Amino acid sequence: MIKKFAVIVFPGSNCDHDAYHVLKNIFNINVEFVWHMDTNLNAFDAILIPGGFSYGDYLRTGAIARFSPIMNEVVKSANKGKPVIGICNGFQILLEAGLLPGSLINNKNIKFLSKTVDLSTVTSNSIFTQKIQKDNVISMPIAHKEGNYIADKSTLEELEENDQIIFKYVNNPNGSMNDIAGIVNKKRNVLGMMPHPERACNNILGSDDGKLIFESMLEV
């Protein structure tokens, strides 16, 4: 059972406070910020890597953050089975760290996209979607320039065959292969997704569908 969440903070993170607010004030979960230079995550039951522009997105998104000391602990924690969710820039960092397959490149129109999108829930067979029925459509914002998911043919086939694709765009905004918006690893404890569930946890923001993802995780 998840009793304590870590929200990792890199230079350039800007969605860390959004995630903290949701976990603490909406779900009443014990949560702490963890600076990227820290080297211990033993006290935490789950890890969230938030969106933003870690290290200013220099080189490429997530490429420098992947080498921050805390990422060694994130990888160790993931390999031990702890739930890890990476949102937007967090997804990019998880890919760079090798915790998820594939890559993210510039959107097909080479523009930053900030809009609400609809996502089809591809599977309920994950700790992140166990409270969402398969094929249910949920809505939440995206805010990215490099959200175009790509992978080679064998990787895409493996993701489909292993039921590792969690969310697909209903109307693909960025050109992602197979309409992919979120995937999990083979052990199914690491989720990377470009849309922002933490920005969709209150109807005053236009949707509270993001709550379903966190509610699913908190049942672990």
Across the 220 residues of the chain, what is the mean pLDDT of every consecutive 10-residue run?
95 96 97 97 98 90 94 98 98 97 95 96 98 97 97 98 98 97 98 98 95 93
Residue 60 pLDDT: 85
Residue 59 pLDDT: 81
- If you ran DSSP here, which 8-state letter would residue 52 be given? B
Active-site choice (73, 96, 146, 198) = 198
Residue 219 pLDDT: 84
Residue 220 pLDDT: 73
Q: Which CATH class is domain 4-217?
A: alpha beta
Q: Domain ranges in the chain?
A: 4-217
For the beta carbon of residue 105, count every other beta carbon within 10 angstroms: 17
Residue 1 pLDDT: 84
201 is catalytic: no
196 is catalytic: yes
Residue 6 pLDDT: 98
Active-site choice (15, 96, 144, 196) = 196
Active-site choice (88, 96, 144, 146) = 88
64 neighbors 94 (Cβ within 8 angstroms): no
CA distance 148 to 134: 24
158 is catalytic: no
Q: Which of 46, 33, 94 is nearest to 213 (CA)?
A: 46
